[in-house]
Amino acid sequence: MSITNNGRAIGGRGPVHRRKVRRGIVVGVGAAVVCGVVLGGLISTPTPLATPSSTLPRSVTPQPANFAASSISTTYSVSGYTSVEAAAAVSGCLSASDSTSELAGAVLRDSAADSSGSTLVVTTPSGLTTCSKLANGTLVPGVPFETYAQADGWGKAAPPTGNPPANWLTWPVEVNSSVGGFPSRASMSGWLEQSIGRAAPNITEVVVQMPGGSMVTAAVQNGFFVARQMLSSEPSQRPLGVIPVIGYDSSGKVVYDSVSTSASAPAPQCFVTSNGVAVTPSSTGDICQAAVPW
């Protein structure tokens, strides 16, 4: 499956093949991907956008990359897990995702659970992978390990100097992966939908509209959010357009709204750090958005 950030998507049945999605997207295994402009009246009055609006010319002479450590601590505590349980979850998730070569420096970063199981996000200093833990304890792979640079469109051959995507976001809420849609192997009934991504340090709550139409509040921990929804069956219809993804700060103020952002800053975009280093690929002469520190 190939996904672009300019409103065109190609989906089909078969295993998950994830690509970076710049907008709020939810996709299931064997389900059509949706992106573009909201249709069908899913949200009639989008919440006003409150995101950084500054732009930087791509022609700015890039300075040497000099990134401080991520604003997120390198020691993580995930709700519901002791340090021993977290270490076991990391090992099991990397094994399920065929990514055991990334074990060095790997940590459990976030988890969201319900009666059908849980979704785990495992990161290393340079990238991430996901897996799902079913109610019977079985670990199911989510997506293969991917560096932040690859997720931001650089590919394996051209990561930016200093790997700024590991320390910067394109928007305060950035959907890194949307995976799921497989039947529950524990009960062989149900259809799991998930949306996973990164969030800026001031984001404390993320609400995502899932394919079934309901708004799901995502777990936000350690710079990541995870939204899960178990449906009785695969949705017969999926909404066309940008999936509403809304990020709030601790005061309840809207910091990011994917619908308003899409309308005011249509894709494609490029993003650069405060000293002009590219976070996403861009062409000479592009006017780029200011990236958000992570």
Is 167 a residue whose pLDDT tops 50? yes
Q: Where are the domains of the chain?
A: 55-293
The phi and psi torsions of 63 (rounded to 5 degrees) equal -90, 160
Lowest mean pLDDT among 20-24, 79-83, 95-99, 123-127: 20-24
Residue 109 and residue 23: Cα distance in Å, rounded?
A: 22
Give pLDDT tens digits for 229-282.
Answer: 888 888 777 767 888 999 999 999 999 999 999 888 877 788 999 888 889 987
pLDDT of residue 138: 85
170 and 245 in contact (C-beta within 8 Å)? no
Give pLDDT tens digits for 97-110.
Answer: 888 888 889 999 99
155 exposed, middle or buried (CB, 10 Å; 0-12, 13-18, 19+)?
Answer: exposed
Measure the N-to-C terminal CA separation of the chain; round to a whole number of Å: 28
The mean pLDDT of the chain is: 74
Q: Is 220 helix (H, G, I), strand (E, B) or coil?
A: strand
Q: What percent of the chain has pLDDT over 70?
A: 68
Phi-psi category of residue 71: left, alpha or beta, with phi > 0 → left and psi -120 to 50 → alpha? alpha
